[in-house]
Structure formats: C-alpha cells, structure tokens
Structure 1
Amino acid sequence: MENFSDIYLSGEEKPPSNIVFGTTQNRPTFPTDIAHDCFGNTQTPIRGVPGIGPGSYNNEEKTTFRYVLDHQPMSRRGYTFNARTEQRKTFVPKADVPSPDAYQPDHSGKMSTKRAFKPFSAAAQRFSRSNSADGPGPGNYELDVQQNRHVHQLHAFGGRVKLIPAVKTKCMPINTDKCMLCQQPPQGDYYQYRNEILCAKCFDFNWQFQEKFKRSYLQAFQKVRDCSLIHEHSGTQAKIQLTEDRVTKKLQRKEAYLSLYWS
C-alpha cells in the first residue's frame, strides 16, 4: 500500500484497488447462506427464491378478476365490456318472520282501567307497607351479651404468643377412658376434670337438668379429645403423623374463636 505522501508528490491519483479488506470474494449473508458461527448453527437459513419482489407474482393465474368474470352478469348483446344485460341474481324474500306489530303483546280487552279518585292518582300509595311483625321488637334483643371477646393466649415477655386450644388433645396409644355415668367409651369430644370423665351426652343432660352434678361443678370440666385424627400409634408409644401441623393449627384457631360464642 503506497504512502499518502508519495501520491501527493506525484500529483496523480491512482485508481482504488479491487481488494477490499484483503479479499474480493462474495461474502455469505444470513438469509441465503449459513454463517460459520454459533448463530449459523442454531438458525436455519431461508430457503427458496430470495430476490422475489412485488412484480414477480403471476397475476394472470391468480387474481380476483377471474372471480368477477365468473360471478358477475355479463353482456349478451356485445355493446361494451361487462354491460350487465344478463338477468341478475335476486334475493329470495323470507316470509316466515313476524310482522312489526306482532312483537308487542296484545292487551286489548284484557286490562280494565279504573278511574282515579283524585287527579293524577295523587291519593295512590307510593311505597308498599312492610309488616312490622316480621322482625324482632325493641325488647327482644339480648343486652347482657359479653362484649370485646378475645381468644385466650399465653403471653411471655420477649417470647412468642401461644394459643390456648379450646379442646385439649390427649396423646395416648389406646383410649381407655369411659364415662363415669353411662360406663361407655365416649364418641368424639368429651369432658374431663381430674380423673372424672363425662361423655358429651351425659354432660349436656346434667347441664340442663342438674340431676347428678350442678352447673357450678360442671364448669370445671374441660373438653378433650384423643389424638386419633392427628397421630397413629398402633398400640405403641411411637406416633405417625397423619395431619400436617399447619392444618392442625388452623383448626385450633377456628375452634378457639367459635368457642367464644358457642360452647
């Protein structure tokens, strides 16, 4: 490659060389050729005719003008091109539709008008009267209901808050508890105070009629249940967990809240 000073001193400009950046060969481009890199390995080049343009379509073979010649009425007399002297296609009228006056209901002879007692029905009742006996009266509300109820929890200074469950769960391999009145094993939740056990049926009966125990004594009983729904012992001290801890805690929170309103 000659120096710029040599060209300037000679006063003549030489024609540019055909070699551009060291080569005169055709360079492969992506749409038609494969690039020799990772992009060319993953992308497939476009096949077919790459240089096709708008003027390369066969309009004489595929065009909408052929559809016009086949479907539009043509000339039979030869006056001019497409004179449309042929009979045109007409739409078949539909007579199986109702008339415009058939949509409205016919009230003739069915409704009887009554003359108003006052002009413009000024004496007519605007709003329907509701029966006051449908709802409770002012003296039927319970006023001595405990307000601001809270779920019982154990608090510790700097520690976590622990929920006190409304139903105590007894973890034992085999439930041998029996009701002290009916001498039957309890079904479901039952009540216990120290070593005294009452099933739910005997507890409700004594709470209502106070036959064996008074209500002041029954208030010391706590509702308990066995761990058959949570654990499986199979007669041993080992336990297999049947329910997840999050499900058990959710049930305990729900029972603790509902125990504030129902026993």
Structure 2
Amino acid sequence: MEGFVYVVNPPEIPRVAFGSGMERVTLAMSGPSLTPFMRKMQGEVRDFPGPFEYFHTKGLEIKYPSTLGYSSFASKLPRLPPTNISRFPPIGAYDVELRKKPKQAARPFNVGSKYADDKKLLTPSPADYAFSKPATSLKICSAFGCKRIFWPAVAIICTPINTAKCSKCNRTPIGDYFHQFQLNLDMCRRCMKKQLRILKHCATDLFYRARMRQELNLYQPVRYCGFFHDHQGTTAAIQHMPTSILKYKIKTENYLSKYIYKKI
C-alpha cells in the first residue's frame, strides 16, 4: 500500500513545563492557604497511616456527653442516616385493659328525677332590644340649672269636655289613645293595633306599606286630663290626685316610654 505509514507505538508527547519537569501538587496540603473546605475534601494525606496515628482521647465522651445521643467527637466521624421511626406505636403496644374499673352510678344522668321548671324572666333579653335605632331622649326643659321640668312622654289634652272620637270606629277612646296634631285626628288603641297588623302582613304592598308607615308615625300617644282632675263641664278643675304622685307617675312613664313607645 503506497502512502501508508505503519506506526506501532505512538510518538511520546513532549512534557511542557516552566523551568522544571518534576511532578508537583497544585493544591496546598497544609499552611494558611488550606481552607476548611479543602481540608474536608482532600481526605487522608498519608498513604498508609497506622492504627495509632488516629487522634483519640479516652474519657472525654463521658465527661462531655451529647444531648443528641452521639459521642463528643461525633462531628469528626461519618454519621449514619437516621432510621425512619413512625410517630404512632404499633397495635400491640396499646394498653387495652383498664387498671381500675370505673364506678357505676346508681342513677346515671339523673334518669327518673323530676326536672326543675326554669324561672321565666320578666325582663327582655339583650337580643330583644333594637340596637340599630337610636335611643330616644327625655324631653327636659331646664333654665340654667335652677329649674328643671320633665315634659310628659304622653301628652295631656286638657279640655272641659272630652271630645275625642276615633277616626276609624267613631267611638270615644277609653284611657290612652293616639292623636295626630297636623290633621287633628284621633285613633284608639284597638284600631291602632289593627293598622299595625295590616302593616306587618306579608300580603301588604310595599308602596302601600311605606305610605301607611309614614302616616302612622305622625300619631303620638295622648290622654285626657280626667285621670288627675275633674272639670265638671267648666274651665276650672278640681284636682283629686296629689301633686307628688302625679310627678312620680310622669317620671316613671318618661323612663318606660323609651321602651314602649317606639317609631314604627
């Protein structure tokens, strides 16, 4: 074969060195240039170290115990990976037998005993109050602190003759009733309850309900003056209720009016 050069051994590659061809270690084996990472990765420097060459002190593992369960020099030795231990004990490790038998009650849960009747509270519960509506204030007329007049929550109409007539049933109201001062209309309590029942009925139209509520809010509670004096058909009056009892009655009604007479 012409042009073919048969080579048994490849030519030796010449060694290139700067000043010397001797083998040298590129990393430092000791000294200040040896970093902790280099010391950890280089391993054992000596080729064949003997058994007595390892650093070992006896008794330090007892004097300086570790809370993790390892010896005092465990950081210098390779650790084994922790075994996977389940959080829950096996089935056979539970103590299913009771050490002490429970005492059996003679009458469990008071079976057969009479239940005590709960006392009914006369006062309303906190949920019964309308917290969204502002609290009504008392009508008080004061003159620089020297005079203080409590206006009655129920207006008193003082006339020689009781001329009140209910605009619905055309009857004379007995006791307290409602009066509209703009149109001079009266309404007894029985007719007012009927109107409120119609207002709260689900079949009432929304427009009619809003108009009806606006009209009923104009009525204010009033009463005739015959409960504490007697006119006998004249402008004069004979008082048959003591003034002290009358003032106490007005103060009590003013306090209770905040919870009884509310806007519809």
TM-score, normalized by length of structure 2?
A: 0.45
Say which one has the larger Rg. Answer: 2
